[in-house]
Structure formats: C-alpha cells, structure tokens
Homo-oligomer: A and B are copies of this chain.
Amino acid sequence: MATKDIAASRAAKGRAPHRRNEDARLAILGAADELLIERGFGGVTVEGIAARAGVSKQTIYRWWPSKIDILLDTLVEEADRRLKIPEDGAVVDAVRGYLRALARFLAKDDAGEILLALLGEAQHDAETAALFHERYLDPRRARERALLKRGIAEGELPAGLNPDTTLDALIGPIVYRALTGTKVSRPFVDALVDRVLEPTG
C-alpha cells in the first residue's frame, strides 16, 4: 500500500514536490501482468518488466522492493474492483454469488492468475507468504468473516458455525481445483454451498 500512501500524502499536502511518474507506474504494473500471462511466473523478471515498460530497473526498485510487490499491487487493486464481498441480502445467496465470482476470477481474470502465482510463490518464500497474508488474504478474510457473522447474528446460519472453518471448507476446494488445473463448474460451486452451508437441507 506504500504506493497509495505516497499518492495520498502528496494529495493531502496539495503538491507533488518531486513527483512520481504515474505513467511509469501503470506501465510497470501492466508489463508485469502481461509477462505473467504470456510467459508464466518465471518470465516475470525485473529486467523484462523494465524493458517492456520502457523504464529503467532503478525506477522499479525505487518504488517496489521486489517483483512480488508489483504483482500484489495489481492483485489487490483488481480484486477490490472485481471480486467484491457482498454486503446486503440473504447471506447464503451472497456466499453462493461470491464463490461463483471467485471461480470466474480464478479461471478468467488476469488477476486471478496473479493470485495463483502468488499463492504458489508463498510456498517458496516466507516473505512472500507474509506479504500475501498482510495485503490480500487477511483483509479479505476479515470481510468474508463479517459476512458469515451477519448470517449467524440474523439467524440465517446456525449459531455454532465456525466462520473460518466454513470459509476454508468453501474456498479451499475452489482454489484447490484452480491450483490443479481442474475446471470449477457452477454445479460444483453450488453443490459445495449446499453441503457445507446447509447440511441439514
């Protein structure tokens, strides 16, 4: 979120003394994303991003500690925009809709590819794991948890239901299928919701 803080503080003070080049920032995020899609994670190199974005390596290192952070910037922005946690309506329906959107995000969205790549990289590198939790998994989980808690509070879900257990039981299979390259069909998602959320249905 360093990026945003900088932008914010700049805006707050009403001036941009030695201002960051927004064009360069977007070119870098875009180049990293494109390289990931075109060549896979191994093809995402700082050297390659710099070349494609028409930017010097130093400009990248000035603003991001590593290429992981670049990908995380895109993931967070895109997931916030395209994978919203619903806030109104019946909770079970909201969850079903959210999980369908998650399946679509993982299968069809470039940022979904980033999510899988970062989850993969987190297995190799503790620092990536920490950042990934801090900037993506944990904030999102907080909002997902709030949704389920509302369902419990409103009596739509059983009082004894453990939100995190439930969320992992719902999200886990979808992500696992994405990780193993298996199609995540709508019936698969729906059956999951039926079994996990409505066991006495």
Contact = CB atoms under 8 A, between A and B. Distances in A.
Nearest to A115: B123
Interface stretch (A20-28, A79-87, A124-132, A143-151): A124-132
B173 A119 contact: no
Tell me the number of copies of this protein: 4
Contacts of A182: 164, 168
A90 interface: no
B180 A173 contact: no
Contacts of A169: 169, 173, 191-192, 195-196
A122 interface: yes
A95 interface: no
A93 to B, nearest CB: 19
B188 A177 contact: no
A155 interface: no
Interface string A160-189: 001011001101111111011110000010
18 contacts: A40-B124, A41-B123, A42-B125, A117-B124, A121-B123, A137-B180, A165-B191, A168-B173, A168-B176, A168-B182, A169-B169, A169-B173, A172-B172, A172-B176, A175-B176, A176-B176, A195-B196, A196-B196
Interface of A: 40-42, 116-117, 119-126, 129, 133, 137, 162, 164-165, 168-169, 171-177, 179-182, 188, 191-192, 194-196, 199, 201
